[in-house]
């Protein structure tokens, strides 16, 4: 499977997950999360799974019947490897976005990792592996993982593992962190930022700061929504990162639009602005979002059950009979994003805790004065890094 096909599966996974998270975990709050981070976290779990459990993870990530078990972990790992090497390479030295992506595996000193599992996580996922003492120093390990994530996300994600999430029954923690900071190709003039009305889903109206510009924009209009593309400054490679804002025409049209977005995998590629058009009224709110959730129940609701159950098989992780008694107890995910006149700063982290079980000619208006969807995408490959929605630009949490 080539990179584009793999990315298409990853995008379908992203949008399916975005719909689920939006409606169940963030129906009344702003949302930002990284489906790519969660995809890699599940890839790390897949590297230690076998049999029907591996089949189910592969099928879930592919959005259809996954590859045969013998090839599944390899294909999932190959996608992660290519994404890390091609998409997530730091571009800041040549004027592009600053990117950082890191994986880590913490395992109990009573165990040793299977060579095959350790080989995949270190060579393909470039993960750091660390021996720790969960059985008597669980709180210290929690702090260690959180400090690692904070460092990897430039201080934006301070606590991916909540207090008490790791205890003496924990045997492994698999974690990753993603950091992105990009400057707009054409920055907004801060002196043009003015307060104006934003319509909440409740019908209330609040005053929020809107960025504005009179320049032509990458913008397209459809029957019941508009799409704005805001490119980030490129480095010297071919990658092009962009933020896309999907604005439903109806002020209360967010959830029905998200459903449409997730139900058609080709929807994104069919609705990308291709050329600049002149704009009339043009307003985009500044916003900052912190969002975190525990993903296991959402993933189970989407059909990924075996890794979290007594029937699951994670026997490829460690060299002992303990491997037959492992299951994923929880997957914690945290993300942050800030959008202002200069550009965007965003970060995400995921941690899986494995325990013993138990286009028109006239000017177009684009006034984002009501709830909308956004995503950050690498356009050369189509990789979706972050997805979210804004219900209230003033609410940071």
- Per-residue DSSP letter, 313: -
pLDDT recorded at residue 69: 52
* Topology of the domain comprising 3-182+288-356: Antithrombin; Chain I, domain 2 (3.30.497)
The residue that leads in pLDDT, 249 or 77, is 249
pLDDT tier for residue 169 given thresholds of 50, 70 and 90 = very high
Query: Could you report the per-residue pLDDT of 267-282, keeping only the tens digit for each?
Result: 888 899 989 999 999 9
Residue 374, strand partner residues:
245, 388
Alpha-carbon distances, residue 28 vs 156, 175, 196, 201 (angstroms): 23, 28, 22, 9
* Beta carbons within 10 angstroms of residue 24's beta carbon: 12
Best CA proximity match to 270, nearest among 5, 8, 36: 8
The residue that leads in pLDDT, 241 or 321, is 241
Whether 77 shows a pLDDT value over 90: the answer reads no
Identify the three-state secondary structure at position 64.
coil
Identify the three-state secondary structure at position 361.
coil
pLDDT recorded at residue 7: 84
pLDDT recorded at residue 306: 93
Q: Any idea where the domains of the chain sit in the sequence?
A: 3-182+288-356, 184-286+360-390
What value does the mean pLDDT take over residues 341-357? 90
Alpha carbon distance, N-terminus to C-terminus of the chain: 39
pLDDT recorded at residue 347: 93
pLDDT recorded at residue 68: 54
The b/e string for 116-135 (b: 16+ C-beta within 10 A; e otherwise) is: ebbebbeebbebeeeebebe
Mean pLDDT, the chain, whole residue set: 90
The b/e string for 197-212 (b: 16+ C-beta within 10 A; e otherwise) is: ebebbeeeeeebbbbb
Tell me which of 25-29, 70-74, 201-205, 375-379 is least confident: 70-74
Helix, strand, coil distribution of the chain in percent, nearest 5? 30, 35, 35
Residue with the two structure tokens 């000017």:
363
Burial tier of 67 (Cβ tally within 10 Å: 0-12, 13-18, 19+)? middle
The listed CATH number (3.10.129.10, 2.30.39.10, 3.40.190.10, 1.10.287.470) that belongs to domain 184-286+360-390:
2.30.39.10
Q: Same fold for the domain at 3-182+288-356 and the one at 184-286+360-390?
A: no
Whether 65 shows a pLDDT value over 70: the answer reads no
pLDDT recorded at residue 360: 47
Which pair of structure tokens corresponds to residue 52?
A: 């029907």
Which pair of structure tokens corresponds to residue 244?
A: 């896309």
Whether 326 shows a pLDDT value over 50: the answer reads yes
Range among 81-85, 103-107, 229-233, 320-324 rated most confident: 229-233
Residues in the chain: 397
pLDDT recorded at residue 310: 87
pLDDT recorded at residue 319: 83
- Per-residue DSSP letter, 302: T
- Given a contact cutoff of 8 angstroms between Cβ atoms, the answer to whether 105 and 172 are in contact is yes
Tell me which of 139-148, 253-262, 267-276, 317-326 is least confident: 317-326
pLDDT tier for residue 70 given thresholds of 50, 70 and 90 = low
Helices 35-47 and 69-82, interaxial angle, to 10°?
Answer: 140
Counting residues of the chain whose pLDDT is more than 70, the rounded percentage is 95
Which pair of structure tokens corresponds to residue 331?
A: 């997957």
Whether 41 shows a pLDDT value over 70: the answer reads yes
Whether 359 shows a pLDDT value over 50: the answer reads no
What value does the mean pLDDT take over residues 339-364? 84
Residue with the two structure tokens 């972990």:
73
pLDDT tier for residue 357 given thresholds of 50, 70 and 90 = low
pLDDT tier for residue 73 given thresholds of 50, 70 and 90 = confident
């Amino acid at each position: 499977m080539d990179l584009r096909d793999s990315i298409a599966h990853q995008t379908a996974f992203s949008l399916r997950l975005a719909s689920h998270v939006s409606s169940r975990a963030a129906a009344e709050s702003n949302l930002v999360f990284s489906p790519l981070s969660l995809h890699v976290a599940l890839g790390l779990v897949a590297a230690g799974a076998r049999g029907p459990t591996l089949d189910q993870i592969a099928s879930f990530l592919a959005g259809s019947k996954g590859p045969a078990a013998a090839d599944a972990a390899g294909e999932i790992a190959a996608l992660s490897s290519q994404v890390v090497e091609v998409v997530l390479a730091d571009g800041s030295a040549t004027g592009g976005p600053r990117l950082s992506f890191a994986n880590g595996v913490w395992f109990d000193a009573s165990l040793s990792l299977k060579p095959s599992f350790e080989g995949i996580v270190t060579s393909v996922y470039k993960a750091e592996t660390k021996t720790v003492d969960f059985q008597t120093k669980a709180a210290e390990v929690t702090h260690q993982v959180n400090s690692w994530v904070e460092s990897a996300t430039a201080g934006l994600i301070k606590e991916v593992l909540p207090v008490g999430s790791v205890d003496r029954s924990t045997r492994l923690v698999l974690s990753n962190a993603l950091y992105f900071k990009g400057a707009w190709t054409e920055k907004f003039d801060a002196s043009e930022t003015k307060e104006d009305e934003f319509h909440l889903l409740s019908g209330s109206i609040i005053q929020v700061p809107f960025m504005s510009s009179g320049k032509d924009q990458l913008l397209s209009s459809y029957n019941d929504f508009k799409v704005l593309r805001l490119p980030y400054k490129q480095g010297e490679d071919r990658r092009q990162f962009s933020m896309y804002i999907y604005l439903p025409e109806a002020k209360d049209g967010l959830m029905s639009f998200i459903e449409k977005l997730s139900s058609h995998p080709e929807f994104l590629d069919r609705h990308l602005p291709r050329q600049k058009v002149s704009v009339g009224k043009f307003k985009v709110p500044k916003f900052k979002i912190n969002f975190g959730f525990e993903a296991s129940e959402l993933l189970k609701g989407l059909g990924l059950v075996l890794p979290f159950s007594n029937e699951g098989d994670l026997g490829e992780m460690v060299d002992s009979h303990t491997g037959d008694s492992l299951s994923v107890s929880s997957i914690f995910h945290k993300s942050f994003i800030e959008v202002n006149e200069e550009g965007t700063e965003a970060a995400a982290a995921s941690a899986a805790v494995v325990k013993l079980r138990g286009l028109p000619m006239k000017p177009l208006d684009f006034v984002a004065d009501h709830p909308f969807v956004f995503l950050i995408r690498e356009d050369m490959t189509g990789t979706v890094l972050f997805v979210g929605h804004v219900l209230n630009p003033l609410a940071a949490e």
